[in-house]
Structure 1
Amino acid sequence: MIRILATDGMEASAVDKLKSLGYEVIEKFYEPEELKTAVKDVDVMVVRSATKVKKDIIDAAAETGRLKLVIRGGVGIDNIDKPYAEEKGIKVTNTPAASSASVAELTIGHMFSMARFIGIANATMRNGEWNKKKYEGIELAGKTLGLIGFGRIAKEVAKRAEVLGMNVVYNKRSGAEAEEETARFVDLETLIKNSDFISLHIPKQKDKDYLIGKDEIEMMKDGVFLINTARGGLIDEDALVEALDSGKVSAAALDVFKEEPTKNEKITKHAKISMTPHIGAATKEAQTRIGGEIVQIIEDFFSKE
């Protein structure tokens, strides 16, 4: 029987479907040392962001050669050493389309939260404060939204922002221009200098520590708003706090952090940061779609065996 290990959980209907098809599904999180043993006796491993599938785990799996497929339930595969895994004969794939709408909606939600002080007003009212005059916000309509990266999620953000009356520009890291109904291509420097809101939608950087650091922030408009629902570590958190304190950045929204769970109190206690605990894909609809994609990937893979 084909054994599937879901280390970070899996949507219930997907588990039920796989079992009905005759697969054995094990839902259990393992610490790294324990995982080295567990991977030797499974054919498929399904992970989210918590489990790291790096060289040591892959080497352990390769000892028996049973593991043939690793699926990341989500968009990125930064937590998996894909080249090394495939070198060892282990296919690595993900579910890139399933959570695009959910992450896009969270991005827009954070933009509203920053623009209208929704998060901090909620918190201060619970402390008995009535800061009606303090929380004068801005409207999103007429503002320029710069999207760094223009993949599936960014395109969903662009659609929603255009309906809100925003002017949307985007940058592709490849530099290739394309005609889009809801957005206009600009180079990265132009985007950074001219956007009122900047939202990141790219993978983790391999060639530099941060995409947005002190130098990039200095290029931005005074009072800019920054959003990161993509990957932790794309923004220099120390530089961000400094810019928030000085007023250079009006507010920031973070769903992802350099360290998760984040222990950076300069971030977690900052009144100008709208925060969520990496929940971009955490909607019922996205989880159902992710589960469905995982089932289809597994069916397709073993039908060709």
Structure 2
Amino acid sequence: MNVLIIDRFPKPFLDALAQLPVQITYVPEAKRPEILPLLAETNILVMNSKIRLDPEAADLAPHLKMVIRAGVGMDHISVDYLEGKGVKVRNTQGGNADAVGEQAVGMMLALNNNLMIANQQVKSFEWIREANRGREIGRQTVGIIGYGHTGKSVARKLSGFGTRVLAHDKFLTDFSDKFAKEAQLEELFAEADILTMHVPLTDDTREWIDAEFLSQFRKPIVFLNLARGPVVKLSGLLHALDQGQVTAAAIDVLENEKLHTLTERQKSEYENLFSRENVILTPHIGGWTFESLSNINNMILAHIQDEIAAS
């Protein structure tokens, strides 16, 4: 069984993989032109998000049996095309859910208590208390869009604060539990104080959150996106921030995360976003903990062991 790994993985994972009856090709520095020829003899491909696994690439892998995505999002993988060729496509869903949940709650706390602004003020020898009076998330209503592994993780963690949670998921029904109440969008528009996004990137969700969407909230909201950058139309979010419809935002993901390749439009919007005191930005690290790395690596090994057993 030939396993091709095209992204960087830690030594303990590689050592554990080497104990299995597989031949390993590990090329973490390779780019698409170097990777494509290697697909010819590959049975299992382990990848993160370095390349698009599109039909062109899939057709170069006649012996491919399984693709394993180290993470959740599959928008860069032609899943239907691969499965139509008999290739199993797996991800590590749930492996980083606790990490994302913790970061989401941390961002809510930071925004509701002006922690980033207050920190900078004190470092500038400014001692400003009243303007930094916070709001307790236990007294607020949080709307979660997307109630999969990460959405549920956020709701579980908020339960410790006594927060009321409304969850909307267009693909699920009858999913209310002790952590969240199932809700239609209209209920979120009417009652949410905080909105956090946990949906995959699909044709339906691309630029779903725009100025019109955000204008439908009856109260000013705090907005978080720990899903995928293109889920949010950035010009719409900037407009909502200008209008006060969004009072503060925490953004872990961007439309284009390769900051050296920005278009003029992206550069202008990013400069606008980055200049705002009431916006927290992180470099797509919502699921990026040492614990989630271990979880994801163990799930990858389990997928590979399943394929070995099935062969």
Same fold (TM over 0.5): yes
The match for 1:10 is 9
The match for 2:263 is none
The match for 2:156 is 159
The match for 2:302 is 296
Structure 1 residue matching 2:286: 3-state secondary structure = coil
CA shift at 1:68, angstroms? 1.9
Matched AA of 1:54: D
Report if aligned partners of 1:4, 1:25 keep a CA contact under 8 Å in 2.
yes
Structure 1 residue matching 2:154: 3-state secondary structure = helix
User: Residues 271 and 289 of structure 1: is their aligned pair in 2 closer, same or farther, counting only changes over 3 Å?
Assistant: same
The match for 1:66 is 63
2:283 aligned with 1:277: yes
Q: Aligned pairs, how many?
A: 301
The match for 2:223 is 226
Distance 1:80 1:40 in 2: 18
Matched AA of 1:114: L
Distance 1:188 1:11 in 2: 42
Report if aligned partners of 1:201, 1:230 keep a CA contact under 8 Å in 2.
yes
The farther-off stretch of 278-287 and 119-128 is 119-128
Structure-to-structure mapping, 1:1-305, within 5 angstroms: 2-23=1-22, 24-61=24-61, 65-174=62-171, 176-207=173-204, 209-262=206-259, 263=267, 264-305=270-311
User: Residues 211 and 304 of structure 1: is their aligned pair in 2 closer, same or farther, counting only changes over 3 Å?
Assistant: same
CA shift at 1:97, angstroms? 1.8
Report if aligned partners of 1:146, 1:196 keep a CA contact under 8 Å in 2.
yes
Distance 1:6 1:303 in 2: 20
1:202-223 CA-partner distances (Å, limit 9, x unpaired)? 1113136422111111111332
1:115-139 CA-partner distances (Å, limit 9, x unpaired)? 1122233344445544444322211
Matched AA of 2:7: D
Distance 2:16 2:172 in 1: 42
Report if aligned partners of 1:86, 1:92 keep a CA contact under 8 Å in 2.
yes
For structure 2, list consecutive stretches of 5 or more residues without a partner in the other structure. 260-266
CA shift at 1:151, angstroms? 0.9
User: Residues 292 and 177 of structure 1: is their aligned pair in 2 closer, same or farther, counting only changes over 3 Å?
Assistant: same
CA shift at 1:30, angstroms? 2.8
Report if aligned partners of 2:205, 2:231 keep a CA contact under 8 Å in 1.
no
User: Residues 171 and 300 of structure 1: is their aligned pair in 2 closer, same or farther, counting only changes over 3 Å?
Assistant: same
Distance 1:122 1:20 in 2: 49
Report if aligned partners of 2:192, 2:221 keep a CA contact under 8 Å in 1.
yes
Distance 1:248 1:254 in 2: 16
Matched AA of 1:15: L
Structure 1 residue matching 2:137: 3-state secondary structure = coil
Report if aligned partners of 2:212, 2:236 keep a CA contact under 8 Å in 1.
no
Distance 1:164 1:85 in 2: 44
Structure 2 residue matching 1:17: 3-state secondary structure = helix
